[in-house]
Structure 1
Amino acid sequence: MASKRILIVSTSHDRLGDTGSPTGLWLEELAAPYYIWKSKGFSVDIASIKGGKIPLDPASLSEGSTTEYTKKFSNNEHNLKEALQNSISVKDVSETYDAIFLPGGHGVVYDFPGNPDLVAVIEKLVAQDKIVAAVCHGPAGLVGPTAPNGEPIVKGKKVTGFSNTEEEAVGKTKVVPFLLEDKLKELGGLYERAPDWHPFAVADGKLITGQNPQSSEKVAQLVVVGLE
C-alpha cells in the first residue's frame, strides 16, 4: 500500500506585530507531529508561506519549552533541519496529499489568514474529503477557506485553538491582530477547550484541531487514526 502523504505548512513571518520582537514557528508543534508521522512510515513534506528558511520562535527553543521531540531536533537531526531551511513555497504545492497540517507560533496570525495560496490548498483538500489539521495558533489558517457549499470550513464543527486566556497569559492580546478563540466562534465554529496549558485536541469529521503547544502529540495521533 502506498505511504500516506502529509503536507505541513508553516509560517514565514518572523516579527511580532509592530513590536519588532522575533517570532515564527513554535518548534514543538511541528517537530512532534513530524517525528510521530515519520515513525508510522508516512511521507511528510514541509512548506511555508514564502518558501525557504522557516523562522523559529526563539522562545520555543528555550529550556522551558524543551520536549523529547525538540531535543531530537537539536541533537543534529539533519533531515528535519534541512527541510526547515529549504521549505517549499505553498504557492508551488502541486502534489496530492492525504492530509494537511498547520502548526502554530505567533507568526501564523500574520501570514496565514486569507493567504490565497494556502486557502486554495486547503479548499482543494476539503473538497476531496481529506484531513485538515492544525494546532495552537495554526487554526488561524482555517479563517479564510470555505467548504464547497460556500460556508467557512469551521462552521458547525467542533474546533479548538489557542484560547483567549492563554493569549492573555503570554501578554499578547493587544499585539495579535485578532483573538483566535473569538475568530473561530465568529465563523460559526463550536469552540471547545481544556484548562490553560492542558493537552486538548478534537476531531470533527476530517477537521482536527489542538488547543496549545501541549496538544501537538494529540493532534498528530488523531491524524494517524484518521489515516489508518
Structure 2
Amino acid sequence: MSDAPAVLFAATSANKVGSLETGCWWGYEPIIASPKGDKVPIDPKSKQEQYLTSTSRDFLKDDEAMDKLNNSVRVHEVDPNDFVALFVPGGHGIMVDGPKDMKPLVEAFAKQDKLVAAVCHGPGALTEAELNGKPLVKGKKVTGFSNSEEKSFGADKEVPFSLEDRLKERGADYHKGADWSPFVVTDGQLITGQNPQSSQALGKAMADALGAASR
C-alpha cells in the first residue's frame, strides 16, 4: 500500500446469473478485490458500444489498471484499516456472491464509520450486512437497480432476487429516479447509485464526501 488514501473497489467473482453471462459492470476505476481473487469477470454487455465511455476506453488501454483487474486480491485478505472508503460496482454478478461474501467486509467498513458506496446492482452486497444487530440499510435512504429497469433489461427472471424488493424487505427507505437516468442518494456515510448511468455522479459524491472529511 502507498501512503496515499486508498479506496477499496470490491467486485464480484461470479460470471453467471441464471443463464446469463455476467460479472462486474464495465466502466470503473481499477477494482482490486473480489471473493475469489485473481481475474474479475466483466459483464459482456457492458462492453457493447452503447455502454462504453471515454473512461472505460482509456481503462482498456491502461496496462496498470488491467493488471489490477486481472489480479485482484481476495476480500477476506483485505485490511479495512488500509482504506478510507469501500466502493462496490454493479453488474448482475454481485447479486450472486455479494450478499454473503462481502458481508464481513461491508460490516467492517460500516463499524469504522467509513464511507460505503455502491452503484447499480452493487447495493446487493449491502443487503445481508448488519450494524449494531440491525440491517445496515434499515432506515437508510438508498437506491439501486429498480424492478422496472431489471424488467426492461430482460434479467428479471434470471436474478436470484429483486434488488429493489430486497432493500425494502431489509427496512431501507428505497428511492428511485427515472429509468436509465443518473440518480444518487446519500445518507450519512452510505452513498448509492441507481444504475450504470449514475456511476459518474456517484464518483463525484464520493470525492466530495472524502474531500469534506479530510478538511
When normalised by structure 1's length, the TM-score is: 0.88
Which of 47, 51, 56 lines up with 1:70 in the alignment? 56
Alignment of 1:120 with 2:104, yes or no, is: yes
Q: Percent identity?
A: 45
Kept in 1: contact 2:31–2:69 (CA 8 A) = no
Gaps of 5+ in 1: 35-43
Kept in 1: contact 2:13–2:97 (CA 8 A) = yes
Shift of the alpha carbon at 1:166?
A: 0.1
Counterpart Cα distance in 2 of 1:163 and 1:103? 16
Shift of the alpha carbon at 1:201?
A: 0.5
1:20-42 alpha-carbon deviations (Å, 9 max, x no partner): x32111112xx2xx2xxxxxxxx
Counterpart Cα distance in 1 of 2:80 and 2:124? 23
Gaps of 5+ in 2: none
Q: What amino acid is the match of 1:82?
A: D
Superposed structure 1 runs of 4+ greater than 3 Å apart: none
Q: Secondary structure at the match of 2:32?
A: strand
Which of 90, 103, 120 lines up with 2:89 in the alignment? 103
Alignment of 1:79 with 2:64, yes or no, is: yes
Counterpart Cα distance in 2 of 1:128 and 1:45? 22
Q: What amino acid is the match of 2:179?
A: D
Shift of the alpha carbon at 1:4?
A: 2.1
Counterpart Cα distance in 2 of 1:198 and 1:61? 19
What's the RMSD between the two structures over aligned residues? 1.2
Which one has more relative contact order, counting CA pairs under 8 Å at least 6 apart? 1
Shift of the alpha carbon at 1:144?
A: 1.1
Q: What amino acid is the match of 1:24?
A: G
Kept in 2: contact 1:6–1:45 (CA 8 A) = no
When normalised by structure 2's length, the TM-score is: 0.93
Counterpart Cα distance in 2 of 1:83 and 1:77? 10
The residue aligned with 2:42 is: 56
Kept in 2: contact 1:119–1:145 (CA 8 A) = yes
The residue aligned with 1:15 is: 16
Counterpart Cα distance in 1 of 2:122 and 2:80? 21
1:167-216 alpha-carbon deviations (Å, 9 max, x no partner): 00011111111110000011111111111000010110000000000001
